[in-house]
């Protein structure tokens, strides 16, 4: 295989506007693959990639990790080496675990457990609008349309914009938070004036979960899961929920219907 510069691969991905996380992951698996093929001789590219992935499978790595490694190698051959030969390998089957959803009562307990008003508002808006942690820490004043009760989410997952709903209940609090700020200012700033880190926002949630004494393995993303589930429980059509969440495939959204099946919840155990 020809000599390959990881620096040039990084530049290529930056030009394509790949996220920082994707670039880091791709570079890691490409470097690992290059070391792997250098140590052995393979008849074909497909054999090399197959052996590389089988090695990961033997280590009992998750299907998501194996797929990420495969995508990284595909990017190397397709975009960097411009190889005409396709990698004829199927993706590992992804596990379809049910999302961890918090009840309305649990959401309320989590929010009330927070004494810091800014942090309380951050979690309230994340739940009330169905936002990812990366989306809420990047929100700017100009992204909030209080009169239309909408939020313009920019450069979200997949580099696509979307319009989210704004909970009217938070209108006065958000107005107070926005007071004195310029349109390009961040809505939720850190105590030092910069952007809140993803980890800081996650810690706010984790601390509130602990204070609320909720034992579920919930994460910040569970607020988004709960938003979608509660909308479906309110009778909102799954296709509208799909649009609000900006899911590419409706099957992703339909996963929430398995959590919120009212007929199933009305069945009582014979022990009762």
pLDDT digits (tens, 9 = 90+) for 10-55: 998 888 888 888 899 999 999 999 998 888 777 788 888 889 999 8
**Residue of 132, 142, 183, 268 marked active site:** 132
Terminal Cα-to-Cα distance of the chain (whole angstroms): 67
96 is catalytic: no
Q: pLDDT class for 147, splitting at 50, 70, 90?
A: very high
Fold observed for domain 104-261? hpI Integrase; Chain A (1.10.443)
Whether residue 73 contacts residue 30, with contact meaning beta carbons closer than 8 Å, is answered with: yes
Select which of 108, 109, 140, 157 is catalytic.
157
Q: Phi, psi (5° rounding) for residue 195?
A: -75, 140
pTM across the whole model: 0.69
Kindly tell me the number of DSSP H helices and DSSP E strands found in the chain: 13, 3
Domain ranges of the chain: 6-80, 104-261
The reply to whether 50 belongs to the active site is no
Within its chain, how far is the Cα of 254 from the centroid? Answer: 17
Per the residue annotation, which of 109, 152, 221, 246 is the catalytic one?
221
Confidence of residue 58 (pLDDT cuts 50, 70, 90): confident
Instruction: List 153's β-bridge partners, or say none.
Output: 162
| Domain 6-80: which CATH number of 1.10.150.130, 1.10.260.40, 3.30.70.270, 2.60.40.10 | 1.10.150.130
For the question of residue 152 being annotated catalytic, the response is no
Residue 196 has pLDDT above 70, yes or no: yes
**Which residue did the predictor score with more confidence, 19 or 266?**
19
Reduced DSSP (H G I as helix, E B as strand, rest coil) percent helix, strand, coil of the chain, to 5 = 55, 5, 40
User: Does the annotation mark 157 as catalytic?
Assistant: yes
Would the CATH topology of 6-80 be identical to that of 104-261?
Answer: no
Token pair recorded at residue 263: 């007929």
Task: Find the catalytic residue in 56, 119, 224, 230.
Answer: 224
pLDDT, greater one: 268 or 110? 110
List 78, 154, 207, 247, catalytic entry:
247
Q: For residue 77, indicate whether it is catalytic.
A: no
């Amino acid at each position: 295989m020809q000599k390959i510069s990881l620096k040039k691969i990084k530049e290529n991905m930056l030009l394509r506007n790949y996220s920082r996380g994707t670039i880091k992951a791709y570079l890691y698996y490409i470097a690992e693959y290059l070391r792997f093929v250098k140590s052995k001789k393979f008849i074909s590219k497909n054999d090399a990639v197959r052996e590389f992935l089988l090695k990961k499978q033997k280590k009992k790595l998750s299907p998501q990790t194996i797929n990420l490694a495969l995508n990284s190698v595909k990017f190397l051959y397709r975009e960097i080496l411009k190889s005409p030969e396709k990698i004829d390998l199927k993706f590992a089957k992804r596990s379809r675990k049910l999302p961890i959803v918090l009840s309305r009562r649990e959401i309320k307990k989590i929010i009330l457990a927070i004494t810091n008003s800014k942090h309380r508002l951050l979690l309230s808006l994340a739940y009330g609008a169905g936002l990812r942690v990366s989306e809420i820490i990047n929100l700017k004043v100009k992204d909030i349309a209080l009169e239309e009760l909408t939020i313009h989410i920019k450069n979200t997952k997949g580099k696509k914009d979307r319009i989210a709903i704004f909970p009217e209940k938070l209108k006065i609090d958000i107005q107070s938070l926005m007071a004195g700020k310029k349109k390009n200012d961040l809505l939720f700033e850190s105590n030092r004036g910069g952007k809140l880190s993803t980890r800081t926002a996650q810690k706010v949630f984790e601390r509130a979960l602990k204070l609320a004494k909720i034992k579920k393995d919930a994460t910040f993303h569970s607020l988004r899961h709960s938003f979608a589930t509660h909308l479906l429980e309110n009778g909102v059509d799954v296709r509208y929920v799909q649009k609000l969440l900006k899911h590419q495939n409706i099957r992703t959204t339909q996963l929430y219907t398995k959590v919120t099946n009212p007929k199933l919840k009305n069945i009582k155990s014979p022990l009762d």
